[in-house]
């Protein structure tokens, strides 16, 4: 399976997977700041893979929102992919004779 999200992609925070501050490892004030980011757009700065088994993986992402807020290790399922970064492909080098 290809990675569902990659570094550099644009995302939108659309869903809290938990409404409990403890689940996010945040105090109540920090959790309110997090909830204020709902529907905000940002850029994935890092992707973390966690292996549950040899074949099952969970993906967590670090996101820097356009307003400067940074979120670390959030489950990617709470985000909508807005735009995948376009890769530039280089022409294969000509073989030396």
User: What local confidence, expressed as pLDDT, does residue 62 receive?
Assistant: 97
Residue 5 lies in a domain: no
Residue 92 lies in a domain: no
User: What local confidence, expressed as pLDDT, does residue 20 receive?
Assistant: 94
Residue 65 lies in a domain: yes
Residue 2 lies in a domain: no
pLDDT tens, 19-68?
999 998 999 999 999 999 999 999 999 999 999 998 889 999 999 999 99
Residue 50 lies in a domain: yes
Determine the structural domain holding residue 60 and report its residue range.
Answer: 10-83
User: What local confidence, expressed as pLDDT, does residue 2 receive?
Assistant: 83
Phi/psi of residue 46, each to 5°? -160, 145
Report whether 66 contacts 41 (CB < 8 A): yes
Rounded Cα gap, residues 62 and 32, in angstroms:
18
Residue 90 lies in a domain: no
pTM of the model: 0.80
Residue 1 lies in a domain: no
User: What local confidence, expressed as pLDDT, does residue 86 receive?
Assistant: 58
List Cβ neighbours of 7 (8 Å cut-off, separation of 6 or more): 44, 45, 46, 47
pLDDT tens, 67-93?
999 999 999 999 999 976 655 555 566
List Cβ neighbours of 66 (8 Å cut-off, separation of 6 or more): 40, 41, 42
Domain total of the chain = 1
């Amino acid at each position: 399976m290809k990675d569902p999200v990659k570094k550099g992609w644009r995302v939108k925070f659309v869903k809290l997977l938990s409404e409990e501050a403890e689940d996010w490892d945040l105090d109540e004030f920090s959790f309110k700041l997090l909830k204020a980011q709902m529907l905000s757009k940002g850029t994935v700065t890092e992707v973390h893979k966690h292996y549950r088994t040899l074949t099952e993986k969970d993906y967590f992402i670090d996101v820097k929102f356009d307003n400067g807020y940074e979120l670390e290790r959030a489950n990617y399922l709470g985000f909508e992919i807005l735009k995948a970064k376009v890769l530039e492909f280089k022409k294969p080098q000509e073989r030396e004779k």
